[in-house]
Amino acid sequence: MMDRAHASNDTARAASETLRLELARGDAMLAGVGPILGHLLSAPDYSLFSDEIVARVRGMLAHLARQVLRMQAEATGQTGRDAFVERHGAALSEHFQASPALLAHCHALALEWQLTERLEAENGLDPVLSPLLQKMIADDESATSSSAMAALAAQARFTQSQRRMELPLNELPGDLLHKTLRAWRRYCGETSSEAVDRAESKMRHAYDESAGRLALFARLVAGPGARSALLLDKAGAGLFFSALSVHSGQPREFAVLSSHARQTVRLALGLRASGIEPRRIDELLLRLHPGAAPFAGLEDIDEDAARGMLLDAVQVLERGA
């Protein structure tokens, strides 16, 4: 029995080390996403990079810049507000590109929308009302039902915004709103004034993070009974990625990136950390990436070990950012 126990431990260690190495290879690619995306966005000849994701990220940054500038124009009493926004929009949008966190967030939203459209095209999954969200709306618990109704409205707004390649300021997470406004203040430089202060105060006062789509999704998937949100074809991309983030302990941006074909190890570990059985993990990987091979050794990795590997990898990536 001692020999069998040692053999089992050796197998688990070998499987853990193999997955850790594969995760590191995938993370080496992720480390270059921000700089490469920033380069593509700043390229003067955009026709060379006619990629939908880049265009969508560019559009979201430009929309954020326009919203901030319009508030600034109103606060400073500008007569030609549209002209003011037009004059500064491109420069402020480019200034926002210097924020790795904002770039990563916009990139993740663009990837989420790409998968949302794919699920609609391949499975007929409604991009606004998924079967799981519909079930939550009908829940007997009034708190769940009301949150689900609010999430439905937020998802409808997200759908409209993504089709227009836009991102409302109020949909940013709180830390990113703060970073965006600080970046705007730096852009203003010596031209900062009491009017600029008033504009910032007005934007912060109008902001309610708890009413945002991501906050609503996070509340809906937080309970142990909400792990059904990890069924992609039932939950839809938005709820799925929020559930994967909450239950695996990863930032949501990393959860979204794990859906990429070269990040299958991260996705497999995220699902394992969330308590999903290896057999179901293989099924989801094949659903997303039909050519993907099943992962050997997942059955030897428990939830805590998978979560620990992901946490270590995230810390390494964030230190290098």
CA distances from 279 to 72, 97, 230, 270, 297 (A): 54, 41, 14, 14, 12
- Is the dihedral angle over the CA atoms 234, 240, 242, 243 positive or is it negative? positive
CA distances from 98 to 38, 40, 82, 171, 245 (A): 8, 13, 25, 20, 25
pLDDT digits (tens, 9 = 90+) for 6-57: 545 655 565 666 666 666 665 555 555 556 555 555 543 332 233 789 899 9
pLDDT at 216 over 70: yes
pLDDT digits (tens, 9 = 90+) for 250-308: 999 999 999 988 888 899 999 999 999 998 999 999 888 888 777 777 888 899 999 99
Q: pTM of the entire structure?
A: 0.84
Higher pLDDT, 46 or 215: 215
Angle CA(100)–CA(104)–CA(91) in degrees, nearest 5? 55
- C-beta separation of 261 from 298 below 8 A: no
Of the ranges 96-105, 186-195, 304-313, the best mean pLDDT one: 96-105
